Chain A
Amino acid sequence: MLDKLKIALVLLVIGSMSGLLIWGTNELTADRIEENRERARLAVYVEMFPDVDVNKMVFDSVEGSNIVEIITMLDSDNNLLGYALRGSHNNPFGVVNVVIGVDRNNSIIDVKITETDNTPTYVSLLPNFLRNLRSQDIRDVSYDTSTGATSTYNSVRSIIEDAKLLVAGDTILEAYQEVISAAASYQLLFEFSDETFAIEYLIKDDAGQRIGYAYHATVDGKELALIVDQDDTFLGFVGIGHSDLDSAFTAFEDYQDTAIKDITLDVSGSLEDQIATVFEAVQTLLTTTMHATYDNLVRFFEVFDDSDELIGYAYIGRAEGYNGDNVMKVTINLDGEFVKLEELSTNDTPNFFDLAFSAFEPFYGQTSISQDDAIDGYAGASASGASLYLIISSALSYHAERMAE
């Protein structure tokens, strides 16, 4: 007992002394470190805006975004030079701080990583990616593909995307609000491949309630969205960031406020026909599948065997993995048993994802999965495993609730 007390006491003394020394050093250096950081940031601003009057910079903090501060740059005659947007994002390897310089015409002057804990070797892979952003319009910025430094790249991209929203305004949300005035936010549900429409968004109101769905497609080089309410009543088409297709949309006004599955289109005209193709593709989707109103689930549909007999339900779910969202299909039979897991899309590292995926195969035939059992299986691939667990357990719970109803 005395020995254990002695160990505890020694560790306590060592820990306390360490804490005291670190506290003292922090007291001594904190102000100077902050000054250095401020000076380094100022040097970046001046490099981006050589004519700026440093005494006339206006600092505005931002909340709820990866952008933490917007600095308005004025010259000595009070002429607007542009904006510096200071952003910060955390990825699994630490923090990435970025400054984006934008001139008064919304053209990117430069993007610089000012501070990061990410592995220097990977950070050093980014200069070309950053250089290629220069002179692009931030409202319509396009990115080079991943650079080999995926986490740092994704952090920089997230910061730029938020800067884009702040500079350009949210053109998508503004478009939705033309049709659903209560629209306050939207969330990516699904990205389609080989479909007439590309993306499905969930539209939410101020309270975070589902109030509709939007299906984005491109017609004649212009992006549009077909919008339905939460009961799949067709509400109309809107152009995203433009009004070029508005005249073609008038052909669909007669069908507004009708359940999409009950609509039979009768429109004519070249553009109208192309828009009608989008409409019919969405109509087919919404007729054959149903929205899953559950966290981590997108939709579900019935599964039939070769003789057209109902044998179960398939649930499409998405949840955040190691490198963005994993999208999976979970099949559940009529007895409520989990019978199949299929990958629809993932950006996770294949070896880790495969390890996590195979950890769930032993659960085939079960009606529920305990988190403790699942974790044992996917140890070593925790991010991918946790994402798959969320999707499968959500599908099983949602299925059980539906059946109980």
Chain B
Amino acid sequence: MAKQVKKSKQELSKLQNLTKGFLKENPIFVFLLGMCPALAVTSTLETSFGMGVLVIFVLVLSNVVVALIKDFIPKEVKIPSYIVIISTFVTIVGMLTEAYAPLLHESLGIFIPLIVVNCLILGRAESYASKNNVLNSAIDGLGMALGFMFALMAIGFVREFMATGAIAYGVFLPLPFEGSIVNLETYLFNIAVFSGPAGGFIVIGTLLAIYNGFEIRKQKKAELERQKLIEEKKRIALEKKRQRELESAGGKA
């Protein structure tokens, strides 16, 4: 019985599996995985989104394939096999991007082939897909990649906004329309450093600090709740003890 309880605690539901990468196990803000694209291609929201979509494609498909053939891959050649699988999907996604979104391809440049060495993708293949079934691996890949994309987009949003005062759309992606939202370029926001590498470090550092600040507050709050609960239990136990003492004293009298 105890074993069953433990198992059900470890196994996540499909929804939990999907959403764990959004915040709780976010690849960028928690595990600091895939920092190279997080710094290099997040100068605009659109390129961040584009890279996120490519990573979704590669991560989901590589997780699915690894989960499918995990039992056939000898352990001596696990990593080389995963790398071949991942690089196949990266090559495919590179070709598709160049064919159907050439401006995005030009903008992401060398960072598309570099998805091959994104630790997040190899990490999920090794730590999750090689030990779980196809469906769960696909969900895990999708959730983690979405979390990665959200984090990139958060960084890209802040960087583009601080650097240009606007958020443009339809520039790099093959959208049928283009323009910009929240256009405040004539106001305060025109800090060019945010579009450069230094800006990437500043924004990632700041967002990490904010994220960790929330996490610490949450932990403190949970700790406080726990303390309160313990105090409450102690108080109830003490009251019960006193009541029992009073009852026994009354009985004697």
Contact = CB atoms under 8 A, between A and B. Distances in A.
A253 to B, nearest CB: 59
**Chain B binding site: helix, strand, loop or mixed by DSSP?**
helix
Interface in B47-104: 69, 72-74, 76-77, 80-81, 84-85, 87-88, 91-92, 95-96, 98-100, 102
B213 interface: no
B91 A22 contact: yes
Interface residues of A, number: 23
B84 A14 contact: yes
A11 B109 contact: no
A212 B244 CA distance: 118
A6 interface: yes
A11 B110 contact: no
Contact of B98 (A14, A33, A117): A33
Contacts of A117: 110
**Chain A binding site: helix, strand, loop or mixed by DSSP?**
helix
B197 interface: yes
Given A3-B74, A10-B74, A10-B81, A18 B100 contact: no
Interface string A24-40: 01101100110010001
A18 B88 CA distance: 6
Contacts of A29: 95-96, 98-100
A120 B105 CA distance: 13
A25 B93 CA distance: 9
A50 interface: no
A22 B91 CA distance: 7
Contacts of A21: 88, 92
Interface in B102-135: 102, 106, 109-111
Contacts of A18: 84-85, 87-88
Contacts of A28: 95, 99
Nearest to A120: B109
Contacts of A32: 99-100
A119 interface: yes
A401 to B, nearest CB: 47
Contacts of B95: 22, 25-26, 28-29, 33
Contacts of B106: 40
Given A14-B84, A36-B98, A120-B109, A25 B77 contact: no
B77 A7 contact: yes
Contacts of B102: 36, 40
B170 to A, nearest CB: 17
A121 B200 CA distance: 13
Interface string A195-237: 0000000000000000000000000000000000000000000
B78 to A, nearest CB: 10
A282 to B, nearest CB: 49
Contact of A15 (B84, B91, B109): B84
Contacts of A22: 88, 91-92, 95
Contacts of A10: 72-74, 77, 81
Contacts of B69: 14
A7 B76 contact: yes
Contacts of A15: 84
Nearest to B74: A7
A214 B74 CA distance: 66
A117 B111 CA distance: 10
A18 B84 CA distance: 7
A22 B74 CA distance: 24
A120 B110 contact: yes
A18 B86 CA distance: 10
A10 B70 CA distance: 11
Nearest to B77: A7
A3 B91 CA distance: 30
Contacts of A120: 40, 109-111
Given A36-B102, A119-B110, 15 more contacts: A10-B72, A14-B81, A17-B88, A18-B85, A22-B88, A22-B92, A25-B95, A26-B95, A28-B95, A29-B99, A33-B95, A33-B98, A36-B98, A120-B40, A120-B110
The 4 A-B residue pairs with the shortest CB-CB distance in the complex, in nearest-first order: A29-B99, A18-B88, A32-B99, A36-B102
Interface of A: 3, 6-7, 10-11, 14-15, 17-18, 21-22, 25-26, 28-29, 32-33, 36, 40, 117, 119-121
26 contacts: A3-B74, A10-B73, A10-B77, A10-B81, A11-B80, A11-B81, A14-B73, A14-B81, A14-B84, A15-B84, A17-B88, A18-B88, A22-B88, A22-B92, A25-B91, A26-B95, A29-B95, A29-B96, A29-B98, A29-B99, A29-B100, A32-B99, A32-B100, A33-B98, A120-B109, A121-B197
